[in-house]
C-alpha cells in the first residue's frame, strides 16, 4: 500500500497547509484522560504533527515519544515543549 511520502508531508508543513491541525489535543484524548481511562505510562504518539497530544500527555505525567515523518513537525513539537518547560 502506498501513500503520501515524507516529502509530501514536509511540504504541507513548510507551506503551513495543516488544515487537519485543531490547534490543541484531540477531544477523544482529552475524554480518555479526564475519565481516568488513560493514566500515566510510557506512550508513543505516531504522526505527532505539531505536538498538541505530546504536550498534553507530558503535562499529565506521561513519558511520551512523538514520532513524525517530517523534520518540520518534529521541530515544531520540540519548540512547543520547550516553550512550556
Q: pLDDT (tens digit, 9 = 90+) per residue, 40-84?
A: 999 999 999 999 999 999 999 999 999 998 999 999 999 999 999
| 33: pLDDT strictly greater than 60 | yes
Angle at the Cα of 68 from the Cα atoms of 79 and 28, rounded to 5 degrees: 85
CB atoms within 10 A of CB 9: 18
pLDDT for 41:
98
Distance separating alpha carbons of residues 60 and 83, to the nearest angstrom: 16
CA 76 centroid distance within chain: 9
Amino acid at each position: 500500500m502506498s501513500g503520501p511520502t515524507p516529502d509530501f508531508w514536509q511540504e504541507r508543513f513548510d507551506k503551513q497547509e495543516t488544515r487537519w491541525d485543531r490547534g490543541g489535543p484531540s477531544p477523544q484524548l482529552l475524554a480518555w484522560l479526564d475519565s481516568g481511562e488513560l493514566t500515566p505510562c510510557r506512550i508513543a504518539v505516531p504522526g505527532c504533527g505539531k505536538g498538541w497530544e505530546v504536550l498534553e500527555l507530558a503535562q499529565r505525567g506521561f513519558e511520551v515519544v512523538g514520532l513524525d515523518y517530517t523534520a518540520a513537525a518534529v521541530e515544531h513539537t520540540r519548540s512547543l515543549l520547550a516553550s512550556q518547560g
